[in-house]
Amino acid sequence: MKKALITGVTGQDGAYLSEFLLKKGYEVHGVKRRSSLFNTDRIDHLYVDQHEKNVKFKLHYGDLTDSTNLIRIIQEVQPDEIYNLGAMSHVKVSFDTPEYTANADGIGTLRILEAIRILGLEKKTKIYQASTSELYGLVQEVPQKESTPFYPRSPYAVAKMYAYWITVNYREAYNMFACNGILFNHESPLRGETFVTRKITRAVARIALGAQDKVYLGNLDSKRDWGHAKDYVEAMWLILQQKKPQDFVIATGVTTTVRDFVKMAFARVGIEVEFKGSGVKETAVVKSCKNKEFQLKKGTVVVAVDKAYFRPTEVDLLIGDPSKCKKILKWKPKYNLAMLVNEMVDADVQLFKKDEYLKKGGFKTLSQFE
């Protein structure tokens, strides 16, 4: 039975990847950070009492900023595959915490690679590094492919650039099976609430249900190549199943503005919105509301722009070229953007309906804590 170790197991991708590998028959070990509140919501359904026999999913306390801890966990687990997904993954927040981001996202990767070397596991353990389309940053070429030059535009992207190259260097210097997956944005109902897609789908659900008036967003012009996390974790696994270690772009090849994502998300609940004005004065207003369940009047402002959400340096356009992964990995996404948006909006509508139901019953709910 193969053993996988996942850093960032409590995150969006960690949860989908754990589920995927368990289904493939792996024993899955995850590194989770100590937190003052439970942080395992996304993986609770996979967890079994550790006293049971043949437990296939195990968690270890750890942190990418602590080498001794990583060495100990890797020594204990002796993994066949490591998926290094742990990171301070929010681009905007990285401008506020640049040093920590460099430590966890950049040097954290080095710590994993060095641990493998120190333990003499170079021949046994394969490593997947969670690289990112943010590396392309300021547009040099479209669509972006494996050979496109990098021009990172945030402390996050600069830290990930170090991680990318140190992974390549350890592969070349020590013959390690270490690969970068350069993944374009991927989302899901498990996406963190402060990334733009989830922020929008949550807001759409709450606005439709009357729990919120409007949502403030930043740059509506930026374009992203959005896929579904479920498809993307399969690509991670495929990258480590190849004969020779190499790097891959994983993308859909379709790009969409934040503004169009907003329109699609509202359309899912039967609300047509139109954008008016420009720059920081731009708003989205209700044009029509076909869904009788929701009472939104024509002309109601549902989206406004707040400068606070703009980044000091932005990545304007991301669109990936998936030719290599299609050809070599035979990877093809099952979801398109409409399916992704619909799944996310539906999940958030369900979540907030439950919330409203609890509120009516006199219980404390998510929205009462906000």
Catalytic residues: 132, 134, 156
How many Å apart are CA 236 and CA 192, to the nearest integer? 20
Distance from chain centroid for Cα 238: 18
Q: Quick check: 132 binds ligand NDP (CB under 6 A)?
A: yes
By C-beta, is 13 or 355 nearer to ligand NDP? 13
Which residues ranging from 22 to 51 are in contact with ligand NDP (CB under 6 A)?
31, 33, 35, 39
Q: Which of 4, 21, 28, 64 binds ligand NDP (CB under 6 A)?
A: 64
Site membership for ligand NDP, residue 337 (CB under 6 A):
no
Q: Considering the complex, what minimum distance in angstroms separates the CB of residue 221 from ligand GDR?
A: 8
For position 89 contacting ligand NDP by CB under 6 A, the verdict is yes
- E strand residue ranges, the chain: 3-7, 27-32, 57-61, 81-84, 126-132, 178-183, 186-187, 215-217, 223-224, 227-228, 248-250, 256-257, 271-276, 283-289, 301-305
What lies within 8 Å, CB to CB, of 366 at 6+ separation is 351, 352, 355
Nearer to ligand NDP, 83 or 177 (CB): 83
Q: Does 185 bind ligand GDR (CB under 6 A)?
A: yes
Nearer to ligand GDR, 90 or 359 (CB): 90
Residues in the chain: 370
88 binds, among ligand NDP, ligand GDR, none (CB under 5 to 8 A by kind): ligand NDP
Print the binding letters for residues 61-90 with ligand GDR: x by CB under 6 A, - otherwise: ----------------------------x-
Q: Confirm if 90 and 199 have CB atoms less than 8 A apart.
A: no
- Residue from 309, 324, 351, 366 that binds ligand GDR (CB under 6 A)? 309
In degrees, to the nearest 5, what angle opens at C-alpha 65 toward C-alphas 59 and 68?
A: 70
Which are the contacts of 96, defined by CB distance < 8 A and separation ≥ 6?
none
* Nearest Cα residue to 249 out of 182, 188, 185: 182
Q: Which of 8, 79, 320, 322 binds ligand NDP (CB under 6 A)?
A: 8
Distance CA 141, CA 143 (A): 6
Residue 152 engages ligand NDP in binding (rule: CB under 6 A): no
For the CB of residue 359, give the shortest distance to ligand NDP in the complex, in Å.
Answer: 27
Contacts of 264 (CB under 8 A, 6+ apart): 337, 338, 341
Q: Does 291 bind ligand GDR (CB under 6 A)?
A: no
Query: Which residues make beta-bridge pairs with 271?
Result: 289
- Does 133 help bind ligand GDR (rule: CB under 6 A)? yes
Residue 263 touches which of ligand GDR, ligand NDP, none (Cβ within 5-8 Å per kind)? none
* Residue 104: contacted member of ligand GDR, ligand NDP, none (CB under 5 to 8 Å, by partner type): ligand NDP
Q: b/e string for 163-175 if b means 16 or more Cβ within 10 A? A: bbbbbbebbeeee
Q: Which positions from 210 through 229 interact with ligand GDR, judged by CB under 6 A?
A: 217-219, 222, 224
SS3 call for 9? coil
Residues that bind ligand NDP (CB under 6 A): 7-8, 10-14, 31, 33, 35, 39, 63-65, 85-89, 104, 130, 132, 183, 185-186, 192
